[in-house]
Chain A
């Protein structure tokens, strides 16, 4: 493992150079160079993925899952397209694609509630709000000023110091990958039995649901009716119940495990109640802030109002007939 160190850094360098080729606005670079940069960048990422085998898995002879590769490549490619596109609305749309592919990665990680919450809240609310503001601020009704080309502003076409940014990106990528791959070997992954024990812990503060689960166990036997549950999940994945005066140890059924949304809900309310309340307070304060920011009126001068509406300056039109009465109020603050 340790001898792959230089190749990890080489892969990071290739990735950073590929990113620089895609960002920097040299028109002399043809499309073939950019296509080669895409291929080399994805190849570098693929090498990093392959070299991360043997770190946390027991059997490491198999390649990474095809679904994981598809969705992570889509996520990274759309993220790169997001930061290089010259039209801001397309950037927001590519970011929506990134959010959708990371939601698919959540599904691979069996966090289905978070995947749907991500799509609904992030792609459905936050990014749509961003697109509203982008379309509001990208009005092309004003005539293009100097430096614009086909209606695209200068600050969107030309990036700011791409070489320095890619260098910083390479350093960050090298740091993160070396930390992710060179951790001490004593970290061993938890076994599958720990997983069910952790899931049964969700029901520990819920005695009625424990009784319901024990009744489901008892359906296999005709006369079991738990009088008292002595220990739930105390030997992991087992419960000790009081049956006809004697203690019986029953195996908790695996098909009645709590689902993901039940586990997340219980953790949210049982283990993090203060954080839940504070999240509500933060949202309330954000609403206050948004209302205060929207109330502020900016006094534009008469010339600025007329320029925003597309009319000429007032001093130029002294000899012409007066403007229509609704003209200066249309573009005001």
Chain B
């Protein structure tokens, strides 16, 4: 945050505001949500959750810039940490599940359902 100008003055000839970035974050989040509900490949479902993390990160950096506070960026560092830890454990579990059934589909594990 070197500049002391408002967000609209940084990028020249632009009317950028906070809500532009919030909208981009919302659209990316919804795309990740739809992808998570639609795909049946275990790893692609985890990739869609990572996309939702990305959208939340964009929103946080935008709010941090809006209030000239570095806490938004600090929390994005923690989001990256959690995403890395989750990726490691999730991929370990996916590898184990793949060894069982030799497929990445989630439908072969439907015996885990209640009914």
B21 to chain A, nearest CB (A): 7
Residue of B nearest to A280 (CB): B81
Partner of B95, one of A133, A260, A282: A133
- Name B39-81 residues within 8 Å CB distance of A: 39-41, 43-44, 46-48, 50-51, 54, 57-58, 61-62, 64-74, 76-78, 80-81
Would A159 and B30 be within 8 Å (CB), given that A57-B8, A88-B44 are in contact?
Answer: no
B81–A282 touching, CB < 8 Å: yes
- Name A290-318 residues within 8 Å CB distance of B: 290, 293-294, 296, 298, 308
Instruction: Determine whether A153 belongs to the interface, using a CB cutoff of 8 Å to chain B.
Output: yes
Instruction: Determine whether A49 belongs to the interface, using a CB cutoff of 8 Å to chain B.
Output: yes
Instruction: Determine whether A110 belongs to the interface, using a CB cutoff of 8 Å to chain B.
Output: yes
B20–A68 touching, CB < 8 Å: yes
A126–B43 touching, CB < 8 Å: no
Chain A 268-286 per-residue mask, 1 if CB under 8 angstroms from chain B, else 0? 1001100100010011011
Partner of A52, one of B20, B41, B48: B20
Instruction: Determine whether A91 belongs to the interface, using a CB cutoff of 8 Å to chain B.
Output: yes
Residue of B nearest to A19 (CB): B34
Instruction: Determine whether A199 belongs to the interface, using a CB cutoff of 8 Å to chain B.
Output: yes
A3 to chain B, nearest CB (A): 17
User: How many residues on the A side are at the interface (Cβ–Cβ under 8 A)?
Assistant: 114
B61–A114 touching, CB < 8 Å: yes
The dominant DSSP class at the A interface is helix
Instruction: Determine whether A184 belongs to the interface, using a CB cutoff of 8 Å to chain B.
Output: no
Instruction: Determine whether A224 belongs to the interface, using a CB cutoff of 8 Å to chain B.
Output: no
Which residues of A sit under 8 angstroms from B72, Cβ to Cβ?
111
- Name A36-74 residues within 8 Å CB distance of B: 45, 48-49, 52-53, 55-68, 72
Instruction: Determine whether A98 belongs to the interface, using a CB cutoff of 8 Å to chain B.
Output: yes
Which residues of B sit under 8 angstroms from A76, Cβ to Cβ?
24, 27-28, 31
In the bound assembly, the distance between CA atoms of A257 and B4 in angstroms comes to: 9
In the bound assembly, the distance between CA atoms of A127 and B73 in angstroms comes to: 21
A74 to chain B, nearest CB (A): 11
B15–A83 touching, CB < 8 Å: no
Which residues of B sit under 8 angstroms from A138, Cβ to Cβ?
104
Would A308 and B102 be within 8 Å (CB), given that A102-B54, A105-B58, A180-B19 are in contact?
Answer: yes
Chain A 172-190 per-residue mask, 1 if CB under 8 angstroms from chain B, else 0? 1100110011000000011
Chain B 15-35 per-residue mask, 1 if CB under 8 angstroms from chain A, else 0? 111111111101111111111
Which residues of A sit under 8 angstroms from B92, Cβ to Cβ?
289-290, 293-294
Would A192 and B4 be within 8 Å (CB), given that A68-B14, A165-B38 are in contact?
Answer: yes
Would A83 and B48 be within 8 Å (CB), given that A62-B15, A169-B34 are in contact?
Answer: yes
Q: Which 10 A-B pairs have the closest CB atoms?
A: A65-B14, A83-B35, A286-B85, A293-B92, A176-B26, A155-B105, A65-B11, A52-B19, A165-B37, A56-B17
Identify 16 residue pairs between A and B in the complex whose beta-carbon atoms are under 8 Å apart, listed by A's number. A59-B8, A68-B14, A105-B21, A106-B58, A111-B73, A114-B77, A137-B98, A155-B105, A161-B38, A173-B30, A189-B6, A190-B67, A202-B70, A290-B92, A294-B95, A298-B99
Binding site for B on A (CB under 8 A): 15, 19, 23, 45, 48-49, 52-53, 55-68, 72, 75-76, 79-80, 82-83, 88, 91-92, 95, 98-99, 102, 105-106, 108-111, 113-114, 117-118, 121-122, 125-127, 129-130, 133-134, 136-138, 142, 153-156, 159-162, 164-166, 168-169, 172-173, 176-177, 180-181, 189-192, 194-196, 198-199, 202, 254, 257, 259-260, 263-264, 266-268, 271-272, 275, 279, 282-283, 285-287, 289-290, 293-294, 296, 298, 308, 333
